[in-house]
Structure 1
Amino acid sequence: MHDAILLLQKIIQIPTTNDYEERVALLIQSTLAQHNIPAKIINYAPNRSNLIAEIGNPDAPNVLGLTGHLDVVLPGNLADWHYPPFAAQIDGTRLYGRGAADMKSGVVAMVYALIGLASHQADLNGRVRLILTIGEENGAQGAHQLTALHYADDLTGLIVGEPTDGQIVYAHKGSFNYTVTAKGKQVHSSTPELGINAINGLVAFANREAHLFDDAPVDEVLGSLAHSITVFHGGEQINNIPADAYLRGNIRPIPTFDNQAVTQRLTDAVNQLNTDHGAHLELAIDNSFMPVKTALQSPLITAAQTAITKIWQHPSDLTVFAGATDASEFVLAPNQFETILLGPGPFSIAHQVDEYVELSQFEAMITIYQQIAYQFLQ
């Protein structure tokens, strides 16, 4: 059995459900050390650490980043799983477990790609940087920290190893989370005219939000901006007019109507409602992840197509998806660089029971990442 499969089993067996990523980072650091590749552990919080490793001429200007996240989502109801989510069981051609697709298989494929490239560093016309993060599934804290520490400042290209089933994803929407709180005045429900109902303020906002982005221009690749109110909370007692209420919403920005435009539109709506209604509304931006888009003629996409065609004897589909990734944080770095998503495992099985990866696809992806590095850095 390939050593990469054994490592994949080991890290799936470490539950990193938005915590304990440091155990995986340390295991990967030890694996890289066995191949004389030093790696930095960058602490974020107790038991939570990112990892950085790099090979190649440190003075080379071209830098290809390979990035993946170490956390996974919760498994849900264990009784629904046919394979224990943290057993990393192999059945036939598939390895099952939470994170098998999203995205520990991509992480390990990148680790072993780096190991293979390290033994032929003289053939690299640049550097390859492995960037492994914590907390992507719950706010991209690791990517935010590493961007602030300048680990994306000199990137020329970036491959995100999310599960794409071997397809090249060249664009994805952003993700924007916000909270609107309403402040009113609590009184007895028998005399509502003496109070200010905070819920009414939120209802007014919800009604405005339903058509707030109707004029947002459609992106030719990513389509329309998506927006939803997903949390609504107000009131504590049936015979009180509530003084406090809040709602939360999620928006998927696009390059033609980006995060800054979203923020301005929400701010204007809240300001206008505050002049028209008794309840006072306040807007808070909880998370703001940028949309990502790379030109189809870019050198990174060309290198990826060349590598995939060489290994699988056919070109990859070029596609997009609506979710956001750590790339949304890394592209906030001061330089501009090309970005693609490419990894083993079907995205359709991510976050679901009996998550799996095809082992043949996983092993092939190691070679594909290596071939992309050679091609792109040339």
Structure 2
Amino acid sequence: MIRTYDEKNALELLKSLVEIDSVNPVYGGPGEGELADFVENWLETRGIASHRQPVLPGRDNIYCRIGPRDAPALLLEAHMDTVGVEGWKTGDPHELRVEGNRFYGRGSCDTKGSLACFLLTLERFAREPEKLNRALVFAASVDEESKQIGAVELAKLSESLKIKWAITGEPTRSDVIARHKGFGRYLVSVTGKAAHASTPDLGENAVYKGARLCQKFEEHAAELRCKPADGEIELGTLNVGAIRGGVGFNIVPDLCQIDLDRRLGRFESAEAARESLQRICSSETGVGFEVFLERPPLRGEDSDLLVSDMISAAKRVGHMISEREVPYMTNAVAYESVGVPALVFGPGDIAQAHKSDEYIEAGEVVRSVEILESLLLR
């Protein structure tokens, strides 16, 4: 029988998670160390043996496995890191603030709500592992908000942990995501020759060259939007995210740097997208091109059965959910890349992710827990 979960207990756990500052170091935060300690201790106090997987200095994945030793396992994975808190609108971003049916705090939605959901699911079946219809692996990962290194490292354990399916936690309002775009992020450096602004002909203006490249990037972005595609999920996009260059009024700049974000349609390859950008860069002299990060799309070619199982599980407990496709990136690609069918699922709405007033609504965590219990119950 499916339990009726206590909203109060779910929010108490979420409150504890939000109170721990786990802002990714790329945003100037301390990282996930303290939160990993909390998760490890939370599991230990419930008699659940866990393991640490070192990923980066002072930043470890936490994982555990329960259920039949030889049975294939479902992975429930949620990342522990958050984006920064600069510009947070009201109060302390690391205190869960209640206003009506909304609970505000950094990570409440993205994605400590999923972390709380998965921990509560694990706790329920750790007490009665004989009621599992398969083995269960739980993992709390690091670095999703930067390079997803935690998920990539965790995926290397899929064979030893007998992981056959994976669900990665993100705010989907309990819908299931089996397909999403990939991305490439690239650093373009344009070099010129410095000179005094009174004699610009003696120099080579790197910003002018960078501006010409940006014009060509914009034209390429327009071409991508016009390509025939069966739905938005198949359309690639390009964005110039930042441009930096110059020292002051009276100096011809000798360096310009451009950050590019290239979203990959479901059937696009990073290699082909990268080569197109490199051809544009080769139209100017003195241009360097560096790959910051590339991740493939989530294609979902082997996920149909898990999708239908999730939708059926939700119906059994009175929740109507659907399958959707999204343009953003998740850790799920790390598991699909090693042959594990992977979905994205969790409480909260992606529209609140990374915002300066991030929140999750009451009932979201409990609804997702009930769906997962229905999925896993023998």
Amino acid in structure 1 at the alignment position of 2:294 = S
After TM superposition, give the deviation of residue 47 of structure 1 in Å.
4.2
RMSD over aligned Cα atoms: 2.5
- Deviation at residue 152 of structure 1 after TM alignment: 7.1
Query: In the TM superposition, what is the alpha-carbon distance from 1:92 to its structure 2 partner?
Result: 4.6
C-alpha distance in structure 1 between counterparts of 2:261 and 2:365, whole Å? 33
Name which of structure 1's ranges 47-56 and 7-16 shifts more when overlaid on structure 2.
47-56
The alpha-carbon deviation at position 109 of structure 1 amounts to 0.8
Residue-by-residue CA offset, 1:176-224 (whole Å, 9 max, x unaligned): 2111111222233344444332223322322222233525553546142
Contact 1:176–1:288 (Cα < 8 Å) also in 2: yes
Q: Secondary structure at the match of 2:172?
A: coil
Decide which of 33, 50, 54 is 2:65's aligned counterpart. Answer: 54
**Is the contact between residue 180 and residue 266 of structure 2 (CA under 8 Å) also seen in structure 1?**
no
Which residue of 1 is the match for residue 20 of structure 2?
Answer: 14
Query: Which consecutive segments of 4 or more residues in structure 1 shift more than 6 A?
Result: none
Instruction: Tell me the CA shift for residue 305 of structure 1.
Output: 0.2
* Residue among 279, 291, 295 paired with 1:289: 295
SS of aligned partner of 1:166 = coil
Residue in structure 2 matched with residue 361 of structure 1 by the alignment = 364
> Please, which of 201, 206, 220 is the counterpart of residue 209 of structure 2?
201
8 Å Cα contact 1:217-1:256 kept in structure 2? no
Task: Give the direction of change, closer, same or farther, for the CA distance of 1:91–1:205 in structure 2 (3 Å limit).
Answer: closer
Aligned partners of 1:301, 1:281: CA distance in 2, in Å? 45
Which segments of 5 or more consecutive residues in structure 1 lack a partner in the other structure? none
Flag the 1:193–1:100 CA change in 2: closer, same or farther, 3 A: same
- Seen in structure 2, the aligned counterparts of structure 1 residues 332 and 152 have a Cα distance that, compared at 3 Å, is farther
Amino acid paired to 1:208: K
1:347 counterpart residue number: 350
CA 1:252–1:152: 2 relative to 1, 3 Å: farther
Tell me, in whole angstroms, the C-alpha distance in 2 between the residues paired with 1:93 and 1:296.
37
Q: Residue 114 of structure 1 aligns to which amino acid in structure 2?
A: L
Aligned residue runs from structure 1 range 163-182, under 5 A: 163-182=171-190
Deviation at 1:151, TM superposition (A): 4.0
1:114–1:370: 8 Å Cα contact kept in structure 2? no
Q: Is the 8 A contact 1:180 1:246 kept in 2?
A: yes
Q: TM-score, normalised by structure 1?
A: 0.87
* Deviation readout 1:308-348 (Å, 9 max, x if unpaired): 1112x243122122111122333332xx2222211111222
CA contact (8 A) 2:166 2:335 kept: no
2:136 to 113, 128, 141: 128
Q: How does 1:191-230 map to 2 (within 5 A)?
A: 191-212=199-220, 214=223, 218-220=229-231, 222-230=233-241
**Counterpart position of 1:258:** 269
Query: How far apart are the structure 1 equivalents of 2:290 and 2:31?
Result: 29
Q: Is the 8 A contact 2:133 2:376 kept in 1?
A: no
1:146 aligns with 2:150: no
1:74 equivalent in alignment to 2:81: no
1:87 aligns with 2:95: yes
Number of positions where the alignment pairs a residue of Structure 1 with one of Structure 2: 363
Aligned twin of 2:116? 108
Where 1:211 maps in the other structure, the secondary structure is helix
- Flag the 1:128–1:177 CA change in 2: closer, same or farther, 3 A: same
Q: Secondary structure at the match of 1:25?
A: helix
Q: CA separation in 2, counterparts of 1:94 and 1:356?
A: 6
